[in-house]
């Protein structure tokens, strides 16, 4: 199993608050379907807010956004102290999709990464 340091994100996040529907199993094994929102996006993951169910790491969540259905693995959860019932959840995409959100947040290919590095120099 990879260490926590190896699991840390290696890509930049883009702040984006998008309304989403989330489906999965909570920590007790009960199915749920709820509204939530993204807080930020990365080419291979996302951070969600307004989750009202306790979730377990490594479980799978399905996130629905517009006509898109994106499957994620839960990397971490955090109970927000002020609310006592709201969680933030860090997610990693199960299968890589080109621009899953339709916002231009796509993984950098080798060619794109080189072009970005050259233009930044």
pTM for the structure as a whole: 0.77
Residue-wise pLDDT for 51-100, tens only, equals 999 999 999 999 999 999 999 999 999 999 988 899 999 999 999 888 88
Residue-wise pLDDT for 8-51, tens only, equals 556 688 999 999 999 999 999 999 999 999 999 998 999 999 99
- The confidence score (pLDDT) of residue 10 equals 63
DSSP 84: S
- The confidence score (pLDDT) of residue 98 equals 85
pLDDT band at 7 (very low <50, low <70, confident <90, very high): low
Exposure string over 53-64, b if 16+ CB within 10 A, otherwise e? bebeeeeebebe
- The confidence score (pLDDT) of residue 48 equals 98
Torsion of CA 49, 51, 57, 62, to 10 degrees: -90
- The confidence score (pLDDT) of residue 115 equals 35
Q: Where are the domains of the chain?
A: 9-98+105-120
The residue to which tokens 């072009």 are assigned: 115
CATH topology (fold) of 9-98+105-120 = Thrombin, subunit H (2.40.10)
pLDDT band at 107 (very low <50, low <70, confident <90, very high): low
**Cα separation of 40 and 70, whole Å?**
15
């Amino acid at each position: 199993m990879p260490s926590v340091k190896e699991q840390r994100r290696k890509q930049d996040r883009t702040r984006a608050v998008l309304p989403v529907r989330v489906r999965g199993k909570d920590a007790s094994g009960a199915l749920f379907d709820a509204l939530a929102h993204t807080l930020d996006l990365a080419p291979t993951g996302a951070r969600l807010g307004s989750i009202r169910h306790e979730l377990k790491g490594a479980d799978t969540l399905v996130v629905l956004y517009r006509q898109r259905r994106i499957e994620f693995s839960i990397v971490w959860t955090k109970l927000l102290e002020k609310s006592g019932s709201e969680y933030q959840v860090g997610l990693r995409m199960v299968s890589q999709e080109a621009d899953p959100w339709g916002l231009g947040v796509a993984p950098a290919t080798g060619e794109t990464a080189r072009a970005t590095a050259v233009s930044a120099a």
